[in-house]
Amino acid sequence: MGFNNNPYSAYQTTAVKTASQGKLIVMLYQGAAKELSAALASFDAYDKIAANKIESFGRHIMKAQEIINELQVSLDMEKGGQISQNLMSLYVYFNKELMNVSIAQDKEKLAFILNMIKELTSAWEVAAANTSAAPQTAQQTLNIQG
């Protein structure tokens, strides 16, 4: 089925094109959480990853790292001040730890990072909702750092 014939794909493309900056950041966090959740699901009851799931596990970690890289690139270090600096440090930490998770297949560390991503998602959802309720003139001048 081609892109133009897939209503869900068309919906996603439209949602991304029309989303506010805050909503886009929320979408990135949600994507990272989805990938990390999928990676976490690769572990069995004994906290091991079966040989046939290792490649998939690595792909999910890599996709999450790519999303985190996109979040890093989106930071406005000049306007964002301390918040942007703190987020940059956090994103660098996430990617470093995810590299270790990928190598060591560390379920506990993966769950910890996933939890932190979920907390950030919730915070950004609140921020995005608050800015979307603002008058249009305020939205045009508001610059959400993230």
Please report, for the domain that includes residue 86, its CATH number. Answer: 1.20.120.340
Query: What is the crossing angle of helices 21-40 and 107-132, to 10°?
Result: 160
Instruction: Judge whether 98 lies within some domain.
Output: yes
Residue 69 is part of which domain span? 22-141
Could you tell me if residue 16 is inside a domain?
no
Q: What pTM was estimated for this model as a whole?
A: 0.78
- Distance of CA 106 to CAs 31, 43, 96, 102, 112, Å? 21, 10, 13, 7, 10
- Helix, strand or coil, per DSSP, at residue 109: helix
Q: How many CB atoms lie within 10 A of CB 72?
A: 16
pLDDT at 136 over 50: no
Q: Look at residue 8 and tell me if it is in a domain.
A: no
Is residue 47, in this structure, part of any structural domain at all?
yes
Decide if 144 contacts 21 (C-beta within 8 A): yes
Mean pLDDT of the chain: 84
**Domain for residue 4, yes or no?**
no
Domains held by the chain: number: 1
According to DSSP, residue 45 is labeled: T
pLDDT tens by residue, 84-93? 999 999 999 9
Residue 54 falls inside a structural domain: yes
Residue 135 lies in a domain: yes
